[in-house]
Chain A
Amino acid sequence: MIEQSMMQQPLDDGFPRRDFLFIATGTVAAAGTALAVWPLIHSMNPAADILAVSKTEVDLGPIEVGQRITVVWRGKPIFVDHRSPERIAQARADDKAELIDPQLDSERVQKDEWLIVIGICTHLGCIPLGQRTGDSRGDYGGWFCPCHGSHYDTSGRIRKGPAPKNLVIPPYTFTKNTTIKIG
Chain B
Amino acid sequence: MSHSTKEFSNPVIRWIEYRLPIFSFIDSSVGTGYPTPRNLNYWWNFGSLAGVVLVIMILTGVMLAANYTANVGYAFESVERIMRDVNYGWLLRYLHSNGSSMFFIIVYIHMFRGLYFGSYKAPRELLWILGVFIILAMMATAFMGYVLPWGQMSFWGATVITNLFSAIPLIGESIVTWLWGGFSVANPTLNRFFAWHYLLPFILFALVFIHLWALHVHKSNNPLGIDAKGAGDMIPFHPYYTIKDTFGMGVFMIIYLSFVFFAPDFFGEPDNYIKANPMVTPPEIVPEWYFLPFYAILRAITFNIFFIPAKLIGVIAMFSSILILLFLPWLDRCKVRSARFRPLYKQFFWIFVLDTLILGYVGANPPQGLFIPIGQAATAYYFAHFLIIIPLLGVLEKTKPLPESISAAVTESGTSGKENG
Taking beta carbons and an 8 Å cutoff, which residues of A are in contact with B? 41, 44-47, 50, 54, 70, 72, 74-77, 123-128, 145-149, 162-164
Contact = CB atoms under 8 A, between A and B. Distances in A.
A56 to B, nearest CB: 12
Interface of B: 156, 159-160, 162-164, 166, 177-184, 186, 188, 192, 278-281, 283-285, 299, 302, 309-311, 314, 366-368
Given A45-B177, A146-B283, 5 more contacts: A50-B183, A76-B183, A146-B284, A148-B367, A162-B367
A126 B285 contact: yes
Nearest to A45: B178
A131 B180 CA distance: 26
Contacts of A149: 366-368
Given A50-B182, A75-B184, A162-B311, A126 B280 contact: no
B160 A125 contact: yes
Contact of B278 (A44, A75, A148, A162): A75
Most buried by B among A50, A123, A125: A125
B177 A46 contact: yes
Contacts of B283: 146
Given A45-B178, A72-B279, A162-B299, A124 B164 contact: yes
B302 A124 contact: no
A141 to B, nearest CB: 20
Most buried by B among A123, A145, A147: A147
Given A70-B279, A126-B285, A127-B279, A46 B182 contact: yes
A134 to B, nearest CB: 13
B186 to A, nearest CB: 5
Contacts of A74: 182-184
Contact of B309 (A46, A72, A164): A164
Closest 6 CB pairs of A and B: A75-B184, A74-B183, A125-B163, A127-B281, A126-B281, A124-B160
B310 A164 contact: yes
A75 B249 CA distance: 47
A77 B279 contact: yes
A42 to B, nearest CB: 9
A148 B299 contact: yes
A128 B181 CA distance: 24
13 contacts: A41-B178, A44-B179, A44-B192, A45-B178, A46-B188, A50-B188, A54-B183, A75-B183, A75-B186, A76-B183, A125-B166, A126-B159, A162-B302
A126 B159 CA distance: 8
A127 to B, nearest CB: 4
Nearest to A70: B279
Nearest to A125: B163
A124 B163 contact: yes
Contacts of B180: 46
Contacts of A76: 183-184, 278
Contacts of B192: 44
Contact of B281 (A54, A75, A146, A164): A146
A45 to B, nearest CB: 5
Contacts of A44: 178-179, 181, 192
B385 to A, nearest CB: 25
Nearest to B156: A126
A74 to B, nearest CB: 4
B310 A162 contact: yes
A44 B193 CA distance: 12
A77 B185 CA distance: 12
Most buried by A among B166, B177, B281: B281
Nearest to B280: A127
Nearest to A119: B279
A163 B160 CA distance: 13
B281 A47 contact: no
Contacts of B181: 44-47, 50
Given A47-B188, A127-B280, A162-B299, A147 B160 contact: yes
B172 to A, nearest CB: 11
Contacts of B279: 70, 72, 77, 127
Nearest to B372: A149
B206 to A, nearest CB: 20
Contact of B159 (A50, A124, A145, A146): A124
Contacts of B299: 148, 162
Nearest to B284: A146
Contacts of A54: 183
